[in-house]
């Protein structure tokens, strides 16, 4: 059982004792956590807060926005723009980057986020979450632009998500393993409930949207078919399936008990490399999974090694228990 310390104390120890993070990054992460608390409160109000349903607008991805998508995005922007830790932000809900206004001091970090992932689940009271990634501004004295964000996931200095479910849980890495913090609503603070999270290297549980089966590439069809054959098949064991259609919830299950999560490229939109976004979904989740002993690839290469070319670029995602991810990746390289 992790000792009951607050997120603040954990981050101070990561800064002062472990020397893993500078004070500016610690302060930034505390602001992000406070924003997640505010989003959690809005989510938990549901119909009582008049926050359910569509916002009757589309985001840059061409997806219908929910009211809570916009609320969560505004909470993160307003919480983070004045603190002096950031040069700019990028969000799934905004086409371009948000440069910190000149009325506020600028810092050396870049914050990227999917403010509310899993929006299709909002109105049916199923877990959703916020995903965030922190990069450093490149060393030069020119102004910040979109190109500064186009860094591979291996350059992240912090990554995390907050899942708004039966509990509100913040899961975070600063490169020293993964820690989980549960929101104590009575205290109004995140409390350390697990550290040094480890994902089992093997699993009997896969997460994929089976309705897309006919559109998958052969390596994915082979892997899932072998799982479905169970004990009598080449895997020699039965598998279970989960699909919450909320990446944060599916990944949290994997962080908690192992498993493999797949949203692979498919034939529905062959020109798109996948559905999920690299910069603020796959990269932060991929680093968290790796920091917990798992693996994350696009079927062909490590997600964190992908050099981005566009802010909202998409990617095929296979992540979770290392031996399963390695197996699926090997099937992609088998000619
Ligand atoms: P589908 C949510 O919209 C999301 O981006 C991820 O959180 C989730 O894993 C995926 O899309 C679900 O997609 O096609 O199953 O609805």
> What tens digit of pLDDT does each residue of 84-106 get?
999 999 999 999 999 999 999 99
Specify the pLDDT at position 142. Answer: 79
List the structure tokens of 139.
Answer: 């060393």
Per cent of the chain over pLDDT 90 is: 87
Specify the pLDDT at position 24. Answer: 95
Specify the pLDDT at position 335. Answer: 55
Q: What is the atom index within ligand 1 of the atom nearest the CA of 245? A: 12
CA-based nearest residue to 246, from 266, 261, 268: 261
In this structure, the dihedral spanned by the alpha carbons of residues 64, 69, 71 and 77, taken in order and rounded to 10 degrees, is -120
| Mean of pLDDT values over 153-174 | 98
CA pair distance 3, 163, nearest whole angstrom: 21
Give me the chain's average pLDDT, please: 95
Confidence tier at 334 by pLDDT (50, 70, 90): confident
Confidence tier at 53 by pLDDT (50, 70, 90): confident
| Whether 252 contacts 289, CB under 8 Å | no
Per cent of the chain over pLDDT 70 is: 99
CB-based pocket (< 6 A), ligand 1: 117-118, 120, 209, 245-247, 263, 276
| Mean of pLDDT values over 143-152 | 96
Confidence tier at 50 by pLDDT (50, 70, 90): confident
Q: What is the atom index within ligand 1 of the atom nearest the CA of 243? A: 15
Specify the pLDDT at position 330. Answer: 97
- Angle at which helices 283-291 and 247-257 cross, to 10°: 10
Q: What is the atom index within ligand 1 of the atom nearest the CA of 248? A: 7
Nearest protein Cα to ligand 1, atom 15: 245
SS3 label, residue 150 = coil
Specify the pLDDT at position 20. Answer: 82
CA pair distance 53, 63, nearest whole angstrom: 14
Q: How many CB atoms lie within 10 A of CB 124?
A: 7
Domain ranges of the chain: 7-194, 205-333
CA–centroid distance, 76 to ligand 1, in Å, is 21
pLDDT in tens, 187-211: 999 999 999 999 999 999 999 999 9
Residue 48 has pLDDT above 60, yes or no: yes
CA–centroid distance, 245 to ligand 1, in Å, is 5
CA–centroid distance, 276 to ligand 1, in Å, is 8
List the structure tokens of 16.
Answer: 């002062």
List the structure tokens of 183.
Answer: 């929101």
Sequence length of the chain is: 335
CA–centroid distance, 243 to ligand 1, in Å, is 9
Specify the pLDDT at position 64. Answer: 82
- Angle at which helices 67-80 and 23-45 cross, to 10°: 150
Best of 63, 65, 117 for a ligand 1 pocket test (most atoms within 8 Å of beta carbon): 117
CATH superfamily assigned to domain 7-194: Fructose-1,6-Bisphosphatase, subunit A, domain 1 (3.30.540.10)
Kindly list the distances between the CA atom of residue 212 and the CA atoms of 25, 217, 264, in Å, as whole numbers in the listed order.
40, 10, 10
| Mean of pLDDT values over 145-171 | 98
CA–centroid distance, 140 to ligand 1, in Å, is 37
Specify the pLDDT at position 172. Answer: 98
CA pair distance 63, 117, nearest whole angstrom: 12
Specify the pLDDT at position 1. Answer: 59
SS3 label, residue 173 = strand
SS3 label, residue 253 = helix
- At the second CATH level, the architecture of 205-333 is 3-Layer(aba) Sandwich (3.40)
pLDDT in tens, 280-305: 999 999 999 999 999 999 999 999 99
Q: Choose the weakest-confidence range: 139-143, 189-193, 197-201, 224-228.
A: 139-143
List the structure tokens of 190.
Answer: 């995140």
Q: Choose the weakest-confidence range: 8-17, 123-132, 229-238, 314-323.
A: 8-17
Residue 127 has pLDDT above 90, yes or no: yes
Confidence tier at 173 by pLDDT (50, 70, 90): very high
Residue 2 has pLDDT above 80, yes or no: no
List the structure tokens of 289.
Answer: 């999974």
Residue 110 has pLDDT above 60, yes or no: yes
Burial class (CB in 10 A: 0-12, 13-18, 19+), 218: exposed
What does pTM read for this prediction? 0.96
List beta partners, residue 241: 206
CA pair distance 158, 318, nearest whole angstrom: 21
């Amino acid at each position: 059982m992790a000792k009951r310390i607050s997120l603040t104390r954990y981050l101070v120890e990561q800064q002062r004792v472990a020397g893993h993070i500078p004070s500016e990054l610690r302060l930034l992460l505390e602001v992000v956590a406070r924003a997640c608390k505010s989003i959690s409160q809005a989510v938990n109000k549901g119909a009582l807060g008049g926050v359910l349903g569509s916002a009757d607008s589309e985001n840059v991805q061409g997806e219908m926005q929910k009211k809570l998508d916009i609320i969560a995005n505004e909470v993160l922007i307003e919480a983070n723009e004045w603190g002096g830790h950031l040069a700019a932000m990028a969000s799934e809900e905004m086409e371009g980057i948000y440069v910190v206004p000149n009325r506020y001091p600028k810092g050396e970090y870049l914050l990227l986020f999917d403010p509310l992932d899993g929006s299709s689940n909002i109105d049916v009271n199923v877990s959703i979450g916020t995903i965030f990634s922190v990069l450093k501004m490149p060393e030069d004295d020119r102004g910040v632009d979109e190109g500064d964000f186009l860094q591979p996931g291996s350059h992240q200095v912090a990554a995390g998500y907050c899942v708004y479910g039966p509990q509100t849980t913040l899961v975070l890495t600063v490169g020293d393993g993964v820690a989980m913090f549960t929101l104590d609503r009575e205290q109004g603070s995140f409390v350390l409930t697990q550290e040094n999270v480890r994902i089992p290297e093997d699993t009997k549980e896969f997460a994929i949207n089976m309705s897309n089966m006919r559109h998958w590439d052969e390596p994915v069809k082979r892997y899932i078919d072998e799982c479905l054959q169970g004990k009598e098949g080449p895997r020699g064991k039965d598998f279970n399936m989960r699909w919450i259609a909320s990446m944060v919830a599916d990944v949290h299950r994997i962080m908690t008990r192992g498993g493999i999560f797949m949203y692979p490229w498919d034939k529905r939109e062959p020109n798109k490399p996948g559905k999920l976004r690299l910069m603020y979904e796959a990269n932060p989740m991929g680093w968290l999974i790796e920091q917990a002993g798992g693996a994350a690839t696009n079927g062909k290469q490590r997600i964190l090694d992908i050099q981005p070319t566009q802010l909202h670029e998409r990617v095929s995602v296979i992540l979770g228990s290392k031996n399963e991810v390695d197996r699926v990746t090997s099937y992609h390289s088998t000619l």
